[in-house]
């Protein structure tokens, strides 16, 4: 057999590639909807990261202590703000340590920062002026300088502030949010900033893939479609191209629950093929 109308089937293949491609791109958004937007709370030890997490979650999720390095591993929990889920991750303090266990926690912190879409960079406003904040940001530039990440500066412990920190105006221009996690002051400003960071257009009525198995099936279907196109380009016999069509239908059937049947194949061949 041979394909009767090459132009029509090429158009069909291109449309399928476009639709599948859009679904594959939606997977990252689907993960966000399913698991929550990952928000990493990071900063030096003892700046109030765990207190902030507890305040946001409104429960004692993390151990709070005046001892630097208390948080040895990341702690996660999810809350929903105006219908959008945020997955908060409290991390070990960023510092050089000789404690082997703490260093493992710091390494895991680095991994969590890489995965985060939003970073709450917390600093002690009683100890850091604008110059120190810039030094800290520069020190961790490799971790946070990513166009796909949003970094929100959080100046904590305003309840202990005796005088206005040097460079306060510059900190304000950097959109720093000044809070007291302990007294729960200005926490709503963090919520507002988080919601402004979300591109609500991503959460439209379009179909979104959130299942890893579906993502794999779509990826395999796309590969089969590309093999079909390659087969046409190289003038591979239609019988062999039919194998790739069968594969593509099978992978799509893994999602729809309709495993490929001879009737489906017969319908395709009836529209686009003639006997040979």
Q: At what angle do helices 187-197 and 49-57 cross, to 10 degrees?
A: 80
- Report the residue count for the chain: 276
What's the CA gap between 215 and 228, in Å, rounded?
20
Does the pLDDT of residue 203 top 70, yes or no? no
C-alpha angle 51-155-127 in degrees, rounded to nearest 5:
95
CB-CB contact of 109 with 94 (8 Å): yes
From the list 40, 59, 38, 37, the residue with the least C-alpha distance to 49 is: 40
- Residues 182, 50 share a domain: yes
CATH code of the domain covering residue 148: 3.40.50.300
> Of 172, 203, 234, which closes a domain?
203
- Residues 189, 112 share a domain: yes
Helices (H) and strands (E) in the chain, counts: 10, 8
Q: Specify the higher pLDDT residue, 242 or 6.
A: 242
- Residues 247, 110 share a domain: no
- Residues 220, 139 share a domain: no
**CA atoms in the 13 A half-sphere facing the CB of 58:** 4
From the list 25, 48, 41, 61, the residue with the least C-alpha distance to 118 is: 41
> Of 203, 221, 248, which closes a domain?
203
pLDDT digits (tens, 9 = 90+) for 56-74: 888 765 444 444 444 444 5
> Of 155, 187, 203, which closes a domain?
203
How many structural domains is the chain composed of? Answer: 2
Report the percent of the chain where pLDDT is more than 90. Answer: 21
Other beta carbons within 10 angstroms of residue 27's beta carbon come to 18
- Residues 234, 185 share a domain: no
Average of per-residue pLDDT across 202-211: 61
Q: What is the pTM of this model?
A: 0.59
- Residues 139, 107 share a domain: yes
Average of per-residue pLDDT across 238-264: 76
- Residues 262, 130 share a domain: no
Q: How far does the chain reach from its first CA to its final CA, in angstroms?
A: 4
Cα 12 to Cα 5, 26, 146, 255, distances in angstroms = 11, 21, 38, 20
CATH code of the domain covering residue 227: 1.20.120.430
- Residues 147, 67 share a domain: yes
pLDDT digits (tens, 9 = 90+) for 95-117: 555 666 656 666 776 777 777 88
- Residues 136, 104 share a domain: yes
- Residues 158, 233 share a domain: no
- Residues 140, 183 share a domain: yes
pLDDT digits (tens, 9 = 90+) for 152-174: 999 999 999 988 888 999 999 99
CB-CB contact of 88 with 79 (8 Å): yes
Does the pLDDT of residue 195 top 80, yes or no? yes
Q: At residue 179, what are phi and psi to the nearest 5 degrees? A: -135, 170
- Residues 244, 148 share a domain: no
What's the CA gap between 34 and 209, in Å, rounded?
10
| Range(s) of the domain holding residue 14 | 2-29+211-274
């Amino acid at each position: 057999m041979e394909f009767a109308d090459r132009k029509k089937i090429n158009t069909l293949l291109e449309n399928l590639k476009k639709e599948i491609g859009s679904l594959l791109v939606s997977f990252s958004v689907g993960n966000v909807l399913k698991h929550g937007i990952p928000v990493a709370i990071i900063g030096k030890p003892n700046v109030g990261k765990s207190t902030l997490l507890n305040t946001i979650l409104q429960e004692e999720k993390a151990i709070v202590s005046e001892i630097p390095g208390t948080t040895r591993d990341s702690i996660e929990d999810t809350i929903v703000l105006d219908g959008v889920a945020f997955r908060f991750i409290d991390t070990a303090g960023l510092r050089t340590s000789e404690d082997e266990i703490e260093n493992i926690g710091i390494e895991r912190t680095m991994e969590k920062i890489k995965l985060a879409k939003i970073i709450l960079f917390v600093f002690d406003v009683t100890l850091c002026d604008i110059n120190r904040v810039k030094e800290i940001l520069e020190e961790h530039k490799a971790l946070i300088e990513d166009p796909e990440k949003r970094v929100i500066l959080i100046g904590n412990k305003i309840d202990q502030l005796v005088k206005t920190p040097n460079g306060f105006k510059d900190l304000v221009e950097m959109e720093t949010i000044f809070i007291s996690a302990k007294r729960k002051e200005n926490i709503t400003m963090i919520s507002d900033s988080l919601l402004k960071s979300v591109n609500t257009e991503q959460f439209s009525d379009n179909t979104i893939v959130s299942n890893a198995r579906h993502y794999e099936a779509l990826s395999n279907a796309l590969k089969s479609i590309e093999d079909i196109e390659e087969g046409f380009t190289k003038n591979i016999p239609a019988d062999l191209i039919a194998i790739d069509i069968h594969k593509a239908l099978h992978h799509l059937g893994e999602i729809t629950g309709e495993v490929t049947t001879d009737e489906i194949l017969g319908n395709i061949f009836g529209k686009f093929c003639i006997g040979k």
